[in-house]
Amino acid sequence: MINRPAESPYEWHQKTVDHLKSILLPDKDVLALGLFGSFINGTYDEWSDVDLLLVVGDQTKEKFYPLLNWLDPIGTIYTYNQSSGVFSSTTRVCFEDFRRLDILIVTESMLARLEEWERVPFQNGLQPIFSRSPITDSIFIRKAFPDPAPLPELNQLEAILNEFLFKGALAVIKVVRGDLLIAFHLCLDLLRDCCLLQMILRDRQEGRTYHKTGGATANTFIREFRPIPTSTDSLGILNTVEESVHCFDGLVTELAPGFRNVGKPLLEAIERAKKCVSSSDGIVAV
């Protein structure tokens, strides 16, 4: 039984873990199962997922990744996400009743190379459910893990900036040409890019890439987010592109002051475009 606050009203987490243990313990291809994240430190709630470490044999990983049918006894999967790196793979599943599992799947040999990992997901603790692997046993009893890799430098900022400016320029041209569908699609990308920069900024300010809650600064950014479209006619899209450029410029300046005022030529083009289109349907003015 996993240690958890006695007063917690959320029972699906423990029941799901117990069910998963009953399925995997008899399977000799599974060498160990462990818990990490909010469930083991008592900070979880109804909406929290369960973070699991699944250690499998070197020759049997394909039985558990990318296959999902081994999870069928747990419930009907509603949606899922999978990713894989050099040392581990991750399967994130959401069942129809919105129980969620994040499962870090690793072979025993890759776990033995933990010191080489760029990031250890269970940095803040790991609790065993069961183990028949000496290598995993040694990981379970450790109190300290390699320090998390530092947040990446913003060497990709220039590429992000270039993509933003290109999409912005193309959106303006599409408005002038009367293609509001493509223009608005590009416009939405600009809004996402602004949010991306704010996420990078939050990571740098807090020194971590995982955030259980949004935080005052990030939530204030969204509440005061000005580029939200007020209309989808020609001028509405151009105004949204314009506000996105101002927002993006400000975020870029916070991240890398050397990129200050990079949106000036695009802002000038937007003013020219406003004079070229009618405010009703985006047809080129004649």
Write out residues in the chain with pLDDT < 70, as ranges. 1-10, 148-155, 278-286
Segments of the chain assigned to CATH 1.20.120: 157-276
Q: Which two tokens stand for residue 160?
A: 């992000």
CATH topology of domain 157-276: Four Helix Bundle (Hemerythrin (Met), subunit A) (1.20.120)
pTM of the model: 0.76
Q: Please work out, in degrees rounded to the nearest 5, the angle formed at the alpha carbon of residue 273 by the alpha carbons of 257 and 190.
A: 45
Give the alpha-carbon dihedral of 255, 258, 259, 262, to 10 degrees. Answer: 150
pLDDT at 149: 60
CATH of domain 12-140: 3.30.460.10
pLDDT at 282: 43
Query: How far is it, in rounded angstroms, from Cα 129 to Cα 32?
Result: 8
Q: Which two tokens stand for residue 205?
A: 């300010």
Distances from the Cα of 118 to the Cαs of 125, 150, 216, in angstroms?
17, 9, 29
pLDDT at 1: 45
Query: How far is it, in rounded angstroms, from Cα 49 to Cα 239?
Result: 40
The β-bridge partners of 79 are 94
How far the first Cα of the chain sits from its last, in Å, is 76
Segments of the chain assigned to CATH 3.30.460.10: 12-140
The pLDDT tens digits for 130-175 are 999 999 999 999 877 877 666 556 668 888 999 999 999 999 999 9
Q: Which of 249, 247, 229 is nearest to 239 (CA)?
A: 229
Q: Which of 19, 28, 8, 43 is nearest to 101 (CA)?
A: 19
pLDDT at 111: 96
The pLDDT tens digits for 14-29 are 999 999 999 999 999 9
Exposed / middle / buried, residue 202 (Cβ in 10 Å: 0-12, 13-18, 19+)? middle
pLDDT at 8: 47
Query: How far is it, in rounded angstroms, from Cα 36 to Cα 43?
Result: 12
Burial letters 216-235, b for 16+ CB under 10 A, else e: eebeebeeeeebebeeebbb
